[in-house]
């Protein structure tokens, strides 16, 4: 029998733990380990196995082509989801415009490793050597200032983790449907990325994690084009944030790589950095915004103080809740127990969690002409203090005994019905 060693991430960490986010630490329950990992099973994830790429391979073309065709065909019928029809097709076209407009900045942030040929990774200015003597090396100050800059650029939550190479993708791939356009990863040492090699610059030791909030009103219309536009807007705002933070870090004399979901797995890094916990829906659940955030990161060699993983009882609550699994039209979310193994190669085995069947999810997107988001809209944590004035969160973070009762009450009395997109836009007044 294969021997499995379950190791807990975060053990033997030699780096200083942060004391700079005191205002957050006061309300956070520190957790010793971020995730349970079976090191006999876990391998760095091959980016070619992300559902986006796997499905494109199966289809023989970029999945987005088909998804876009599906959207266009809906909008041409005056619809923004199979069951959301407008009398005037022009109304649907406005929603299409939201989706097109809100995703444009996101497209500027490319994966590290694609080299200059992508023409997308905004590299910023070189640090002037004549300023080298001014460089600050005080970890606490550098951490505090980096958080401040991230907040100025739209982040509502920030954290720092030690860079764990297990979360970095094992490959990069230039096109979703490109077969052999992959360059090998050279681990944690080596020259800056070029067209020939995907290698992190030497000394990259930390990751700054940021979360930007998504528009809850738009998300409440899920599944719809408008909810998809909220995702795109969140990513574009996150891209703006990390492109700016990385340029700032380079401006004060350190190396920095801005990244969205490219280059490495962001969610486990965010768990390590204490931004939230991993939920049944496969998303990071933050205490303040639930899964209704978009995440991004900056990989850097700037000396920083790192944060702790947190335990607010959210993962434990997912045991009782299961609301996202009930609302998932694709049946992609597990309503069973967490496990160390997933459904298919689009899952990366080895981490104890609920695995989401990503190809099922993505096929639903293509069939519905939306990017769904029902698992965000249905999660009670999405509603923050709007969820009975935050009382359930307080109870969940202090005792597990009431989880079953709270989730029963929530199912019985909380109304999280899909909001009509037109009604939301009318309410929003903008």
Phi/psi at 390 (5° precision): 80, 0
Q: Which C-beta is closer to ligand SF4: that of 257 or that of 362?
A: 362
Q: Which C-beta is closer to ligand SF4: that of 150 or that of 222?
A: 222
225 binds ligand SF4 (CB under 6 A): no
324 binds ligand SF4 (CB under 6 A): yes
Query: Cα separation of 48 and 134, whole Å?
Result: 43
374 binds ligand SF4 (CB under 6 A): yes
Q: Among residues 218, 372, 396, 425, which is the contact residue for ligand SF4, using CB under 6 A?
A: 372
234 binds ligand SF4 (CB under 6 A): no
State the minimum distance, in angstroms, from the CB of residue 66 to ligand SF4. 16
State the minimum distance, in angstroms, from the CB of residue 8 to ligand SF4. 22
Q: Among residues 34, 51, 332, 422, which is the contact residue for ligand SF4, using CB under 6 A?
A: 332
Q: Among residues 236, 281, 286, 300, which is the contact residue for ligand SF4, using CB under 6 A?
A: 281
235 binds ligand SF4 (CB under 6 A): no
Stretch that binds ligand SF4, among 58-66, 123-131, 153-161, 315-323 (CB under 6 A): 315-323
Stretch 72-111 residues interacting with ligand SF4 (CB under 6 A) = none
317 binds ligand SF4 (CB under 6 A): yes
Beta-carbon contacts of residue 267 (< 8 Å; ≥ 6 apart): 278, 282, 283, 284, 295
Q: Among residues 265, 306, 333, 425, which is the contact residue for ligand SF4, using CB under 6 A?
A: 333
346 binds ligand SF4 (CB under 6 A): no
Q: Among residues 177, 288, 323, 403, which is the contact residue for ligand SF4, using CB under 6 A?
A: 323
373 binds ligand SF4 (CB under 6 A): yes
End-to-end CA distance of the chain: 62
Q: Which C-beta is closer to ligand SF4: that of 113 or that of 380?
A: 380
State the minimum distance, in angstroms, from the CB of residue 374 to ligand SF4. 4
State the minimum distance, in angstroms, from the CB of residue 137 to ligand SF4. 41
Structure tokens at 329: 């039209």
State the minimum distance, in angstroms, from the CB of residue 418 to ligand SF4. 12
Alpha-carbon distances, residue 188 vs 46, 185, 318 (angstroms): 16, 9, 35
328 binds ligand SF4 (CB under 6 A): yes
State the minimum distance, in angstroms, from the CB of residue 234 to ligand SF4. 14
Stretch 375-404 residues interacting with ligand SF4 (CB under 6 A) = 375, 378-381
Angle (CA) 256 171 253, round 5°: 10
270 binds ligand SF4 (CB under 6 A): no
212 binds ligand SF4 (CB under 6 A): no
What does the binding site for ligand SF4 look like in residue numbers (CB under 6 A)? 279-281, 285, 317-318, 321-324, 327-330, 332-333, 356, 361, 364, 372-375, 378-381
């Amino acid at each position: 029998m294969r021997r499995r060693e379950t190791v807990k991430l975060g053990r033997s960490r030699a780096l200083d733990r942060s004391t700079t986010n005191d205002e957050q630490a006061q309300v956070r329950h520190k957790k010793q380990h971020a995730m349970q990992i079976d090191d006999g099973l876990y391998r760095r994830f091959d980016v070619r196995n992300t559902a986006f790429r796997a499905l494109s391979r199966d289809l023989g073309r970029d999945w987005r082509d088909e998804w876009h065709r599906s959207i266009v065909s809906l909008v041409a019928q005056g619809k923004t989801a199979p069951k959301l029809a407008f009398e005037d097709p022009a109304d649907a076209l406005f929603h299409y415009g939201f989706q097109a407009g809100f995703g444009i900045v996101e497209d500027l942030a490319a994966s590290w490793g694609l080299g200059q040929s992508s023409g997308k990774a905004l590299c910023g200015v070189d640090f002037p050597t004549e300023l080298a003597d001014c460089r600050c090396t005080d970890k606490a100050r550098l951490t505090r200032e980096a958080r401040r800059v991230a907040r100025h650029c739209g982040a509502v939550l920030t954290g720092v983790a030690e860079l764990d190479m297990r979360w970095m993708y094992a490959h990069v791939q230039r096109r979703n449907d490109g077969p052999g356009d992959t360059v090998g990863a050279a681990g944690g040492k080596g020259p800056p990325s070029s067209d020939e090699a995907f290698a992190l610059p030497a000394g990259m030791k930390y990751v700054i994690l940021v979360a930007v909030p998504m528009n809850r009103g738009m998300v409440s219309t899920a599944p719809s084009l408008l909810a998809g536009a909220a995702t795109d807007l969140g990513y574009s705002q996150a891209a703006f944030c990390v492109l700016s933070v990385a340029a700032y870090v380079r401006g004060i004399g350190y190396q920095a790589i801005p990244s969205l979901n490219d280059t490495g797995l962001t969610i486990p890094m965010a768990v390590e950095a204490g931004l939230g916990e991993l939920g049944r829906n496969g998303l990071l659940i933050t205490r303040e915004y639930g899964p209704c955030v978009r995440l991004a990161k900056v990989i850097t060699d700037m000396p920083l103080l790192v944060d702790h993983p947190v335990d607010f009882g959210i993962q434990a609550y997912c045991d009782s809740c299961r609301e996202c699994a009930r609302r998932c039209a694709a049946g992609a979310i597990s309503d069973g127990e967490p496990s160390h193994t997933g459904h298919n190669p689009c899952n990366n085995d080895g981490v104890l969690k609920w695995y989401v069947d990503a190809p099922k999810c993505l096929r639903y997107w293509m069939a519905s002409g939306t990017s769904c988001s029902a698992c965000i809209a249905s999660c009670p944590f999405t509603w923050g203090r709007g969820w009975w004035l935050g009382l359930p969160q307080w109870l969940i973070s202090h005792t597990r005994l009431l989880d079953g009762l709270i989730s029963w009450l929530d199912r019985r009395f909380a109304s999280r019905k899909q909001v009509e997109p037109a009604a939301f836009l009318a309410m929003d007044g903008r």
